């Protein structure tokens, strides 16, 4: 029996759809825009998204096992508990603006030069991630986990509430503001006034 070949979806706009109404049969989405969609607990496993934009979507607890996110932009999205670490590593490229990303998992990913702008990244896990050159602009990193994380040349000057132990992370040429120094020293129990 011959397998039916399905064409990729190119340049389509998906507005206000729920995950149950999302047709994933093509497997590949290029240049598509997803606006105000409810993808809570959606299964995006094995799908390919190239140069797509997700705007004001709720993607909390979405499954991304082996999903390919190539040059994908998330704007104003709710991404609670999303395990980005399960995505395909090849050609991975994302940017995040004004996203709620509490408990998101980025372990082991190459996120070099990734911009995070005005994001809530509380309790996110960056263990073993390559964040060299990443920019955390106005991001809340309360209880975010940084362990064996490469933060070389990363910009955390406007990030708040982070705690990054220098002895277990790579910080060469990373940028911090003076007000951020307690986040580098709190593990030592030093009181700064």
Fold: same for 11-19+29-95 and 106-113+123-193 = yes
* 122 phi, psi to nearest 5 deg: -60, 130
- The pLDDT score that the predictor gives to residue 2 is 43
How deeply is 42 buried, as exposed, middle or buried, from its count of CB atoms within 10 A (0-12, 13-18, 19+)?
Answer: buried
CATH class in words for 106-113+123-193 = mainly beta
5: which DSSP letter?
A: P
Q: Could you please report the per-residue DSSP string of 58-73?
A: B-TT-B-TT-EEESEE
Question: Looking at domain 11-19+29-95, does it have CATH number 2.160.20.80?
Answer: yes
Q: Are 139 and 160 in contact (CB under 8 A)?
A: yes
Indicate the domain borders of the chain.
Answer: 11-19+29-95, 106-113+123-193
Query: In angstroms, rounded to a whole number, what is the distance separating the alpha carbons of residues 192 and 103?
Result: 29
Burial 56-81 (b: 16+ CB within 10 A, else e): bbbbbebebeebbbbebbbbbbbbbb
Q: pLDDT digit of tens for each residue in the chain (193 aa)?
A: 444 457 899 999 999 999 989 999 999 999 999 999 999 999 999 999 999 999 999 999 999 999 999 999 999 999 999 999 999 999 999 999 999 999 999 999 999 999 999 999 999 999 999 999 999 999 999 999 999 999 999 999 999 999 999 999 999 999 999 888 888 877 777 776 7
- The pLDDT score that the predictor gives to residue 1 is 42
Q: Are 170 and 149 in contact (CB under 8 A)?
A: yes
Distances in whole angstroms, Cα of residue 17 to Cα of each of 14, 23, 41, 84, 176: 7, 10, 14, 22, 41
Distances in whole angstroms, Cα of residue 100 to Cα of each of 37, 124, 180, 187: 15, 11, 22, 26
């Amino acid at each position: 029996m011959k397998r039916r070949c399905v064409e990729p979806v190119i340049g389509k706009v998906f507005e206000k759809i729920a995950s149950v109404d999302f047709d994933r049969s093509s497997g590949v989405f290029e240049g598509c825009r997803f606006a105000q969609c409810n993808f809570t607990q959606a299964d995006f496993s094995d799908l390919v998204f190239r140069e797509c934009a997700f705007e004001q979507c709720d993607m909390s607890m979405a499954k991304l096992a082996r999903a390919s996110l190539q040059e994908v932009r998330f704007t104003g999205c709710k991404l609670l508990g999303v395990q980005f670490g399960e995505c395909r590593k090849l050609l991975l490229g994302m940017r995040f603006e004004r996203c709620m990303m509490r408990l998101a998992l980025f372990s082991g990913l190459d996120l070099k030069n990734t911009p995070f702008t005005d994001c809530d990244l509380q309790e996110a896990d960056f263990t073993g991630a390559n964040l060299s050159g990443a920019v955390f602009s106005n991001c809340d990193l309360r209880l975010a986990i940084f362990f064996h994380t490469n933060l070389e040349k990363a910009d955390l000057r406007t990030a708040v509430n982070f705690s990054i132990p220098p002895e277990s992370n790579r910080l060469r040429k990373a940028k911090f503001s003076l007000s951020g120094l307690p986040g580098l020293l709190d593990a030592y129990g030093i009181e700064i006034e």
